[in-house]
Structure 1
Amino acid sequence: MDNYRIAVCDDSKEHVEIIYNMINLIKEKHNLNLILYTFTSSKELVAHHERQNFDIIFLDMEMPEQNGIETGLIIRSFSTDTKIIYVTAHSGYAYESYMVKVEDYLLKPIDYSKLEQNILLCCDSLKKKKDRKFLDIKDVSRNFQRIFIDNIICLERHRDRKIHIKCIYKKTIIVNETISNLEKHLADYKNIVKANQSVLINLNNVRKITKNIITFCDDSTVKISEGRLAIVKKEFHNTL
């Protein structure tokens, strides 16, 4: 059974508890494997999301230190797959929430059937996305990271002998691994190829190859070794 990490964030402990208890009832009713987290601070939510990567977030729109729109935009800057559902006492945030690309609104007081419908729809959508390729790994701080492979630009061994996994949205995850182990782990993903002994690249995020220089979608570059040049160019042209 798939696990889904759900976060509930509201500056009111009472509202957090109400939603938390409802989700637990839905969890038992539908035999869902839901792992629940609660927050009363939007900044704390963001900090934990960077480490935990929540699947679904129920986010209060009116928060004192950082409102729901500001928080949603921060989350979207490094997480496109997380399902965000706003919880609010007002319904006048349509344009702002469009920018965050939220799933839905839940108006207070929370309607149980509406909450149930949202959770079931989100879990169904997430289950379908599980079929896409992810790299599950722990970073140097021992935090679990689930990386959507299409978001990876390259995996590069640095002088510190650690692997720096550079992703779109300007995010880099550092892990204690080897290029050879990661190459084996990603062997089924045909667009991940070796550029040289220290770098694996994602051809999906290559913008161009000029001579022996790869330019990625973020304008960063790496060199292709002489022995890999013909192979990498051939594979790149196969993706066009």
Structure 2
Amino acid sequence: MLRIAIVEDEKECQASLIEHLSRYEKEHNDNFIVRTFFDGIDILDDYTSEYDLIFLDIHMKYQDGMTTARKIRELDDSVIIVFITALAQYAIEGYKVNALDFILKPVVYEQFELAMDKVFKTADKYQKSKEIIVSEDGAKRKIDTEDVYYIEVVGHTIVIHSKLGVFETRGKTLKAISEELKEYNFVQSGQSHLINLRYVDKIKGDVVTVVGDELFLSRSRKKDFITAFGEYVGMEI
């Protein structure tokens, strides 16, 4: 299921994109959740990084698409952005914000379909990872599991240690998160830690070293953890 945002201030173009998405769903047997916005300011208000794809009009009355895209990139470096524009030369600017593609107005289905095909090819490259939504300065952002070192529980808070920093989230138990991430090589070392095996530096006694941090390896989980790590290392050779 693809979560899509349409940020477009022209009602006709917005309706056309919705119609094309509906047609693409039927022809390609896909399923979309679509939300619409009439300006860049609107989507940035309490942005939650929940979208997989954003169709973004470059010219809007209050906040243009390029400014909006730059601000989105500060919060979300993985969402796919496709610009909608009446003038092709403006789309060149899109590369500065890592936009995947642009579609010219008026939007015809054939061009739209090609853009959507590119979206799915790009999304498929990252199917071996998953995204976690975390809090940062009152906003929400997504972190790819490939960038997560380990996850720990502190009281009722889940703390995520990653390449991008340390973040917090709530609402799930470590056990539930462990079930969700087990296919992405995350294994519990104890009741408080869930470790990404790709970042394990060393296992010695009751300690697992992950990017320099020493984490407790419980007796009850030690055998399964070492087995999982051995299988992971063997898979990587």
TM-score (norm 1): 0.70
Partners in 2 of 1:131 and 1:22 — Cα distance? 25
Q: Which residues of 2 match residues 96-107 of structure 1 at below 5 A? A: 96-107=93-104
Q: Percent identity among equivalent residues? A: 26
1:50 aligned residue: 48
2:151 matched to 1:155? yes
1:174 aligned residue: 169
Residue 224 (structure 1) aligned to one of 209, 215, 236: 215
Task: After TM superposition, give the deviation of residue 47 of structure 1 in Å.
Answer: 4.4
Give RMSD over aligned pairs.
4.0
2:184 aligned residue: 189
Q: Which residues of 2 match residues 1-240 of structure 1 at below 5 A? A: 3-47=1-45, 50=48, 53-93=50-90, 95-126=92-123, 128-129=124-125, 131-134=127-130, 148-159=144-155, 161-170=156-165, 172-190=167-185, 192-194=186-188, 197-204=191-198, 216=211, 222-225=213-216
Instruction: Give, as a single letter, the amino acid of the residue that structure 2 aligns with 1:98.
Output: Y
Instruction: Give, as a single letter, the amino acid of the residue that structure 2 aligns with 1:178.
Output: T
Q: How many residues end up aligned between the 2 structures?
A: 223
Question: For structure 2, which runs of at least 5 residues remain unmatched after alignment?
Answer: 136-140
Question: For structure 1, which runs of at least 5 residues remain unmatched after alignment?
Answer: 140-144
SS at match of 2:3: strand
Residues 78 and 171, structure 1, Cα contact 8 Å, conserved in 2: no
Query: What per-residue deviation string (whole Å, max 9, x for no partner) do you get for residues 68-89 of structure 1?
Result: 2222233333434322110112
Residues 77 and 169, structure 1, Cα contact 8 Å, conserved in 2: no
Residues 91 and 102, structure 2, Cα contact 8 Å, conserved in 1: no
Partners in 2 of 1:214 and 1:70 — Cα distance? 42
Residues 134 and 146, structure 1, Cα contact 8 Å, conserved in 2: no
Task: After TM superposition, give the deviation of residue 156 of structure 1 in Å.
Answer: 1.7
